[in-house]
Structure 1
Amino acid sequence: MCTACVLGYAPLALAQDGITDTGQSDEGQRRLGAITVTAQKKEEALQSAPLAVSAFDTEALELKQIEGPQQLQFSVPSLVFAQLTGYTQLSMRGIGSDLTVTAGEPTVATFQDGVYVGQLFAQAVPSFDLERIEVLRGPQGTLYGRNATGGTINYITRLPDYDYGANLELTAGDYGRIAVAGGVTGAIVEDKIAGRLTMKHDRRDGYRHNIFDGKDYDDNDLFSAQGSLLIDLTPDVQIVFRADKTRQSASNVVELVEEIPLASGVSSATPLGVFSLPAPVLAGIPGLFSPSDLALLGNGSVADFYGLTQPGFAVPNPTETTDFANNFPSKQVFDVDGFSGTATFDLGAATLKSITAYRESDATIRVDNDGTSAAILREDPIFQSSKQFTQEFTLSGMAMGSKLDYVIGAFYYHDDALLKADLITPSIGDQVALAGSLTSPTPPPVFDLSQPFIPNLLQLIADPVLGQTLNNPTIIADGNLSFGADQESESKALYGHGTYSLSDKFRASLGLRYTEDTKDVFRQLHSNFVPAGGLCDRQEDDSWEAVTGSAGVDYDAGAETLLYGKVSRGYKAGGFNPGECVGSFDPEFLWSYEAGFKTTFADNQALLNMAAFYYDFSDIQFTTYLGNASTIKNAASATLYGLEAEYVFRPRVLEGFQLDGSGSYIHSEYSDELLQDPTGLATLNIGGNQLIRAPEWKLNFGAQFETEVGNLGTFLLRGESSYTSEVFHDVFNGKAPFQAGTAEDDYWISNARLIWRPNDDRFELQLFVENIGDEMYAYSRVASATTASVTGQFSPPRTFGARLSMKLGSSR
C-alpha cells in the first residue's frame, strides 16, 4: 500500500477516495491537503478556502479514534474540551462557554449534516460512520450565525452508495471495554434509491472507585444507530433522508478538589465544619449563638461541648488517583433522536438546497455535587428536554461571467426546552432540627434564600454518621430546593455571502447576516423550607437582534500558496437565569481581525498553514456560583490575540516517514471589572486575568512510520503527544480566597498506535495505548458557596486495547 493512502492521520487530512479528485502528483501520491470541504457552504479544496479550518477524513478519524470534541482537542489548535455533569463546554481561540442547562447555549456551534445541534448535553454524544469532520476557527457570523462566536464543528456522515458495501469493527480494551460497530450500504432501486444502515454498541466498566460504597463509577454504555436514504428523483434533483438515535448511560462523578475553610471549615483540621471552630470565631453570625450560648461554650467549640466526632472518609487527590469518596451514586442518561431531509436542486446556473430537521434530546442527571462522603448537596435529578425544529434554504452559484461566487440563505430555528432540577440538601434538615439557642431551643427560623447556604448553617453537620443530634432527635426531611424553566426559543435569519474575482489571483469577499432571537420563559423556584410567599413563579420574554458579517480578501501568491485577510463579527443571544427568580443576561459580541496563509512546498513534501488573529470581545457571558444560585452574568470586555500553525512534513528520502502537528499561542485578558467571588469573601478586579479555558500554549505533535513487510502486508507505527499550558476555569484565575483549585496545571497527553494491514486491504488490526503517562486533568473545576468547595470532573486514566476492522465492497 502506498504511503499516501494512510496520510489521513495528519491534522490536515488528505482526501478520501470518493470525496474529491485524488490530486495526484507525478509520484502517484495524493497531494497534501487535497481534501474537499464545505466550510463556506460550497465545495472547495481545503488549501483554497480563505479561512482557518482543520479537516479530517475517514481514515484520519478511524486511525485516531476521533468520535467527538474529547479527541478532536488533541489534533486542532486552540480547541479545548470541557464537561460538567454531562454538559459540554467548548472553547476555541479562548472564546468559549462555561454555561449549563437551558439558559446555556454553545459558543462553539455544532452541526451534524448541516443541522444545528442546540443543546449543550447533546454536543459531546459520540459520532460514528463519518465521512469527515471540519473545524472552523473564528466567528462564523455570516454563514452559521447564532452561537458560532468561537467557531463551528461540522460532522458529515457517509452517504449511501449504489454499490454494495459492508463494514464491521470490534474493539476490546481494559476496564472491560467491548465495542461493536457495523454497517451496510447498497442500491434499493438501481440508480434511483440507495440506503445505508449503521449501528454501534460501546460499553465499559468504570474508571473510578468509590471508597464510600466500594463500587466503580465513571462507566459508559452507548448505543447508536443511523439510517439514510439517497433518492435521485431526476438527474437534477436529489433528496437525502437521515434518521439517528443515540442512548448513552454514564456515571460521571464530581470530585472534591479544594475546600474553602473559612466558609465551611470541613477539613482535616475541622472535621465537623463550623462545629469544630471556637465559638468566638462564630460569634459574628447573626442569630447563631445567644449570649448565654457563648458563655456556656467559652473558647471551645460545639463539637468539644458535645464530644462529637466524624468517622467520614478522607478525600483522595483526583489528579493522583482514581479513588474518590461520594455518598450518593451519580448517573446520567442521554437520549437523542434526529430526523432530517436534505433536498438539492440543480437549476443550471445555481443550486438550491433545503435542509429540514427535527431533533429531540433528553437528559436525566443525578450527581453528588459536593464531591465528598458528606451528605451536603446532590442533584436528584436534573431533567432536561429539548424539541428542536430547523429549516434552512440556500441558493448558491456563479454570476457576472463567473466572477461572482455567491451563497444566499434563510434560516429558522425553534426550540421548546424544559428544565426541572431538584437540589437535595440533607444538611438543611439537620440544620432545622438544630436551629435555635443551645440553651433555649426555639422554633426554627425561616430559611432565607437570599443568603448563601453556609451562613444559614447548611454545613453545621458535615456527615450523616454523627451518631448524635443536638436538640431534637426527631427525623427531619431532607432540604429540597427545586427550580425549573420552560423556555421557548425562536431565531430567524437572512444572510448572503459573495466572493468576487478581481483578477485570476486576487479576490474580495463580503458577507452579511441579520438575526432576530426571541426567548419566552416561565421560571419557578421552590423549597420545602420556604413559606409559600417566598416562591417564584415568573413569566418573562425578551428579544435581541444583530447584524453580523465578514469582509476579506485573498490572493494566490503562487500555484501552491494562498494569502488571506478578513474582518468578521460574531454574536451570541442573551437569555434568562433558570436558577433565579429574577435576572437575565445580555448578548455577547466579538470583532475578529485575522490574516493567514496556506502553502505546500518542497515539491509536495511539506505543508504549512498559519493564521494570526486579534479579537475584541464584549459583554462576555460567564457563570458564577454565588449564594444559592448558578448565575450567568456579563463581564465587561476582553482582548485576545494569537497565532496558530498546522504542518505536515513527508520527506521522500525517508520513505514512509511523516511528521505532523499543530499549535497555538493565545494572549487573553479581561478589562477592569470588580466582581464578587463565589463565597462572597472578596470583591476582586478581574482586569488582566486570562479568559476561561484560554491556555497560552497548546501544542500537538505526531510522527509515524509505515513500511511493507513482504507477504505480511503493511505495518504503521504512530505516536502522538499534546501539551496544554495552564488552564483557568473561572474569571478569577484561582486568585479568589481558598480557590486556587480552579486553576489547572499544564499537562501532556500522549498516545501510541500500531496498525497492521494485510495485502488484500480488507482487514486492519490496531493496537493502541492512550494517555500513556496516566495524566488526569480536569474537564471542569467549579468554586461554589453552596458546597463551600472547589469540585471538578476529571479525564480518563491510561487505557489500552485492540481494534479489528473489516471492510467489503464500496466501504473499502
Structure 2
Amino acid sequence: MQRLLAALCVSTILTTPAAWAQDNQTGQDADADSGEIIVTAQRRAERLIDVPISISALSGNALEQAGIRSTEDLTAVIPGLNFATNGAFAQPTVRGIGTTVTSAGNDANVAIYIDGVYQPNQIANFSDLVDLEQVEVLKGPQGTLFGRNATGGAIRVTTKRPSFTPEARLTASYGRFDDVRLTAFGTAPLSDKIAVSFAFLYGDDQGYVRNIGTGNRVADSNAMSVRGKILLQPTDRLEFILTASRSERSANPAFTLGVLNGNSNALRLPGSLQPVGPRQVSLSFDPTITVDSDQVSLNATADLGFAELSSITSYAKIVTDLVTDVDRTNLALVQAQVPGRQETWSQELNLVSQGDGPVKWFVGAFYYNDDSTNATIVNNGAVFNTIRQKTEAFAPFGEINVELGDLTLIAGARYNIEKKDYSIVRGPAAVLREQTFKTFTPRVGLRYAVSPNASVYGTFSKGFKSGGFDGILAAGALAVNPVFPEKVDAYELGFKFGKGRTSLSAAGFYYDYSNIQFQAFNPNAGGLTQVFNAAAAEIYGGEIEGSVEIATGFLIRGSVAYTRSKYKNFPGATIFCPRGAPAFGNASIPIGAINPCDGQRNLAGATGGELIRTPEFTASFGPSYRHEFADSGALDLSANAFYSGRFFWDPANRLEQPSYVLINAELGYTFPSQNLKVALWGRNLANELYSLYVTEAAAGDSIAYARPRTYGIRAELQF
C-alpha cells in the first residue's frame, strides 16, 4: 500500500496536462459542444470522468492527427502501453503485463475487442484502423468486466455504425517507400428502419530494408479489408446490427531479421554475405507473414424499460502462414514454416440497468468455443510438429454500483470455467491431454464525486490469463506439461477531472503478478522453446494524462507514465552469454555456474531483473491547431511526440532497447467547399533507429528494425 500511495504521489506531481483522451468530439454519444468524453467500459454509456477505471479514450480524428494508422502505432499515444511484436504475434503489454506465449490456442493477456467481439488470434491483431469511431484502452486487470485473458487490460475498438444520414468519405495517400493507402467509407438508409454501411481499405508498400541474399526490398506490407454492416431498427426499442468482414494481410517487417552485434554462429560460414547497416539483411529467401480473416457478428439490443438486454454472437475463421529464415544468413540452412488455422464461436448476453436511481447494475454470461491448430515444417520437409488446442469456456459475471450521496460503492465478480483439450504430434509420437481451469475474479471499489466534474476512486481487482499445455522433449521422449493460469492482484487509486475540452486524470497502481507464463529457449527441452510458469513479479507506478484548449482551435494533449517492475522470483529464466569469436552464438549459463559475461555466479536466474518490454518512463505531447478562414476554408496543423525510456527484450536484461523519440506531424488544408482536404504528413521525422523485435537463441541474437522516416501526401473527399 505504501508503494501504491507513492506511485499516486508521483503521478500527481507530474503536472503536464495530458489525456490522450480524445479530440474535441468522441463517439456518437459525446456532446459535440462540450467535448465531453463518453465511454462504454462498464457496459453502459458513461462520462469518462465517472468511470473508476484508468482509461485512455481516443477518437478516430485524434488518432489520424497523431499519425496512428494501425494497432501497433497505439504505443505512441497511450501511456503505459507497449504494443509489442513477438515475431508475427501481436503481444501488447500494459503496465508491464504482457506475454511471450505464441503456441496454438494461447491468447495474449491484453484482450482486444472490435465492436464488442473478442479477438483471440495474435497474428491477426496487427490491423489497420479504418472506419474508426473510437478506441478505449482499459488499464489493469479486467477480470470482472472482460474476463479471460485480460490480465493486463483490454483494448476496445469501435468502428462506425450505419447511419440514416447519408455520408461518404474517400481517402488516397502516397508516401515514401511507395506507400499507397486507399480507404473508403459510406453509409445510407435503405428505408426508415434499415441503414447500411461499407468500409474498404487497401494498403501496399515496397519495404524499407534490402535483402542482399535475394536482391529484393523487404519489410514490406500489403493489406486489403472490407467490412459491411446492416442496421435494422424494427421499433424504437429494438435494434440489430449484422457485421461481416474479410481481411487479407501480408507483412514481413518483424521477420526481416538481421544479426545483432555480429552474434551469430552461421554468419561467418563460407559463402555468407555480410549486410551493411541496419537497413540490410542477408537471408536466403524473403520471409512472409500472411493472414486471411473472415468474421461475422450479430449485435442485438432490446430496451426493456428497467434494463437493456444485449446479445453479441460472433464467428471467425482465421488462416495464417508464417515462413522465416531461422539462420539469418543467405545460406539455405534452416527454413521454418508455420501454417495455422483458428475457428472461434462466442456468445455474450448482458442485462444492464437503466435510469438515474442510486443503484446501477449489470449481469451477463459469456460462452467461448475455439479450435486452434498450427504445424511446424522445417526445410520444406516432413511436418516436424503439429499442435491442436480446443478451448470451451463459460463465465457468468455481474457488478453493482450503489450511490450513497456523493459516494459510490462498487462490487463485481466473474466466475471463469475453461476446459482445454490439447494434442501434439511430433514424428511418430503423439500425446493428448485435457484439463479444466476455474478462476474467481472479483472487483471492489469506492468512488467519490468531488464535484460534478471531478472524482476520486480506489479499486481492488483480480485478473487471470487462462492455462494451457506445452509439449517438450524430455529425456528423448515427448512429454506434455500443464501451464497453469497466471494471476494478478491489482490496487489502484485515481483522480479524474473533465470540463469542456479540458480534462485531467491521474492514477497510481500496485500489482502483485504471479504464476507468469513465459515462452523461452530451453536447452534441456530438446533445444526448443518451452512454455512454463516462470516467475512472480511486482509492478507499481503512476500515470497522468489530459488535454486543454489554450485558445480557440489550439488544443494541447499529453501524457506521462512511470512504471517500475521487478521479477521477484524467476530462477528458471534462461541466461545467455555471447560466446564471441570464433564460435559465436550464445552459451546457456546454468544455475550455480559463473557467467563469463559479467563474472558473476548465476544464483537466481532473472530474479531482480526488470520485466520485458516495460520502459520505466514514457511520455507523449500532442498539440493541434485549426484556423478557419473567412471563405470557409481551414488550415489544420497537428503533431505528436512520443518518448520511450530504455527497456529490455529478455528477462536477463541483456538485450536493451535504448530510449528513443518518435515525432509525427501533419499539415492540412480544407477547401472552402468543405468537401476536399489535402494534407502533408510525416512519421518518425527524427529518423530514430529503434527495434521492432529482438530475439535470442543458442545460435545468436537477431533484430528487426522499425520503419525509418516516412512522409507523403493525402487527399480526402467527403460528401
Match of residue 673, structure 1, among 549, 570, 578? 570
- 1:397 equivalent in alignment to 2:357: no
Residues 573-620 of structure 1, C-alpha deviations (whole Å, 9 max, x = no match): 11112565322311100000000101147xx57422110000000001
Tell me which residue corresponds to 2:272.
312
Which of structures 1 and 2 has the bigger CA Rg?
A: 1
In the TM superposition, residue 316 of structure 1 has moved relative to its aligned partner by 3.6
Corresponding residue number in structure 1 for 2:338: 382
Please state whether the residue corresponding to 2:331 is helix, strand or coil.
coil
Give the equivalent residue in structure 2 for 1:501.
403
Matches within 5 A, 1:719-758: 719-734=639-654, 742-758=655-671
Hey, what does 1:42 align to over in structure 2? 44
Whether the 8 Å contact between 2:271 and 2:331 is mirrored in structure 1 is: no
Residue in structure 2 matched with residue 619 of structure 1 by the alignment: 515
CA distance in 1, matches of 2:25, 2:501: 19
Report the equivalent of 2:422.
Answer: 521
Q: How far does residue 181 in structure 1 lie from its aligned partner after superposition?
A: 1.2
Distance apart, 1:363 and its partner CA: 0.6
Q: Contact (CA 8 Å) 2:87, 2:693: kept in 1 or not?
A: no
Write the deviation string for residues 66-104 of structure 1: whole angstroms up to 9, x where unpaired. Answer: 343211110000100222332111100000012213153
Q: Secondary structure at the match of 1:805?
A: strand
Q: Which amino acid aligns with 1:597?
A: F
Provide the rounded CA distance (Å) in 2 between the counterparts of 1:405 and 1:44: 12
Cα distance in 2 between the residues matched to 1:176 and 1:605:
38
State the 1:21 CA deviation: 4.7
User: Following the alignment from structure 2 to structure 1, what is the Cα–Cα distance between the partners of residues 319 and 408?
Assistant: 46
Offset at residue 729 of structure 1 (A): 1.2
Q: 1: CA distance between counterparts of 2:381 and 2:682?
A: 46
Q: Which of 426, 429, 436 lines up with 1:536 in the alignment? A: 429
Alignment partner, residue 14 of structure 2: none
- Secondary structure class of the residue paired with 2:588: coil
Matched-pair contact (CA < 8 Å) for 2:105–2:372: no
- Aligned pairs for 1:600-749 within 5 A: 600=498, 604=500, 606-627=502-523, 628-652=527-551, 655-675=552-572, 676-677=574-575, 679-683=587-591, 684=602, 685=604, 686-711=606-631, 713-734=633-654, 742-749=655-662
1:486 match: 388
Residue 345 (structure 1) aligned with residue 253 (structure 2): no
Distance 1:10 1:94, change over 3 A: closer
* Structure ranking higher on relative contact order (CA contacts 8 Å, 6+ apart): 2
Spell out, residue by residue over 1:468-518, the C-alpha distance to the aligned partner (whole angstroms, 9 max, x if none).
xxxxxxxxxx88671111211111100001111011x11010010000111
Amino acid corresponding to residue 351 of structure 2 in structure 1: L
Q: How does 1:327-346 map to 2 (within 5 A)?
A: 327-346=284-303
1:797 Cα deviation from its structure 2 partner: 1.3
Long gaps (5+) in structure 1: 1-8, 25-29, 273-309, 425-477, 527-534, 735-741
For 1:784, the aligned partner's letter is A
2:9 matches 1:107? no
Contact kept? 2:141, 2:490, Cα under 8 Å: yes
**Conserved in 1, the CA contact under 8 Å of 2:66 and 2:664?**
no
C-alpha contact 1:753 1:769 (8 A) present in aligned 2: yes
| CA deviation after TM superposition for structure 1 residue 259, in Å | 6.7
Tell me whether 773-782 or 561-570 shows the greater mean CA deviation.
773-782
Query: Does structure 2 retain, via aligned residues, the 8 Å contact 1:226–1:245?
Result: yes
1:404–1:500 contact (8 Å) kept in structure 2: yes
- Deviation string for 1:352-400 (max 9, x for gaps)? 1111000111111111123222333221x2111100000000001048x
Partners of 2:501 and 2:392 lie apart in 1 by 49
What is the CA distance between 1:265 and its match in structure 2?
4.6
**Runs of 4+ with >4 A deviation:** 264-267, 478-481
Query: Are the aligned partners of 1:566 and 1:593 in contact in 2 as well (CA < 8 Å)?
Result: yes
Q: How many Å apart are 1:155 and its aligned residue?
A: 0.8
1:30-86 Cα deviation digits (max 9, x unpaired): 34xx12111111110112211111111232133234343211110000100222332
Q: Does residue 236 of the first structure (1) align with residue 192 of the second (2)?
A: no
Following superposition, the deviation at residue 204 of structure 1 comes to 1.1
Residue in 1 aligned with 2:21? 12
- Do 2:168 and 2:185's aligned partners in 1 also have CA atoms closer than 8 Å? yes
- The answer (yes or no) to whether the contact 1:328–1:378 under 8 Å persists in 2 is no
Q: CA deviation at 1:241?
A: 0.4
Q: Secondary structure at the match of 1:95?
A: coil
Q: How does 1:175-574 map to 2 (within 5 A)?
A: 175-189=177-191, 191-252=192-253, 253-258=255-260, 265-266=265-266, 271-272=268-269, 310-317=270-277, 321-379=278-336, 381-398=337-354, 402-424=357-379, 482-503=384-405, 505-526=406-427, 535-574=428-467
Structure 2 residue aligned with 1:80: 82
Deviation at 1:323, TM superposition (A): 1.3
Match in the other structure for 1:284: none
Aligned partners of 2:550 and 2:556 also within 8 Å: no
Partner AA of 1:131 in structure 2: E
Counterpart in the other structure of 2:594: none
Which residue identity lines up with residue 632 of structure 1 in the other structure?
V
Shift of 1:236: 1.3
Deviation at 1:17? Answer: 7.6
C-alpha contact 2:27 2:133 (8 A) present in aligned 1: no
Deviations 1:634-653 (A, max 9, x none): 1231111000111212223x
Give the CA deviation at 1:718.
Answer: 1.8
For residues 214 and 453 of structure 2, the distance between their equivalents in structure 1, rounded to whole angstroms, comes to: 62
Question: Aligned-pair distance for 1:260?
Answer: 8.6
Change (3 A) 1:347 1:635: same
The residue type equivalent to 1:395 in the other structure is: L
For 2:482, the equivalent position in structure 1 comes to 584
Deviations 1:136-162 (A, max 9, x none): 111001010000011001111111111
Q: Hey, what does 2:150 align to over in structure 1?
A: 148
Whole-Å separation in 2 of the counterparts to 1:576 and 1:646: 40
Structure 2 CA distance, aligned partners of 1:615 and 1:629?
Answer: 31
Q: Distance in 1 between matches of 2:232 and 2:59?
A: 24
Separation in 1, partners of 2:458, 2:133: 29
Aligned residues: 670
Separation in 2 of the partners of 1:93 and 1:21? 28
SS at match of 2:142: coil
1:596 aligns with 2:494: yes
Say whether the 8 Å CA contact 2:67–2:683 is kept in structure 1.
no
The alpha-carbon distance between structure 1 residues 574 and 259, as it changes in their structure 2 partners (threshold 3 A), is: farther
User: Which has more strand, going by share of residues?
Assistant: 2
Among 703, 713, 716, which residue is 1:805 paired with?
716
Q: TM-score, normalised by structure 1?
A: 0.80
Any idea what SS the aligned residue of 1:96 has?
A: coil
The residue that corresponds to 1:130 in the other structure is 132
Structure-2 separation of matches of 1:81 and 1:148 = 15
Taking the aligned partners of 2:381 and 2:171, their CA distance within structure 1 comes to 49
C-alpha displacement at 1:205, in angstroms?
Answer: 0.7
Question: Is this contact kept in 2: 1:103–1:577, CA < 8 A?
Answer: no
Q: Secondary structure at the match of 2:63?
A: helix
Identity level (%):
29
- Decide which moves more: 169-178 or 405-414: 169-178
- 2:682: which partner in 1? 769
TM-score in terms of structure 2 length: 0.90
Find the counterpart in structure 1 of residue 15 from structure 2: none
**5+ residue gaps, structure 2:** 1-17, 577-586, 592-601
Q: Is the 8 A contact 1:185 1:197 kept in 2?
A: yes
Task: Quote the Cα distance in structure 2 between the aligned partners of 1:421 and 1:224.
Answer: 28
Residues 180-212 of structure 1 show CA distances to partners (whole Å, capped at 9, x for unaligned) of: 1112211112x2111111211111111110112
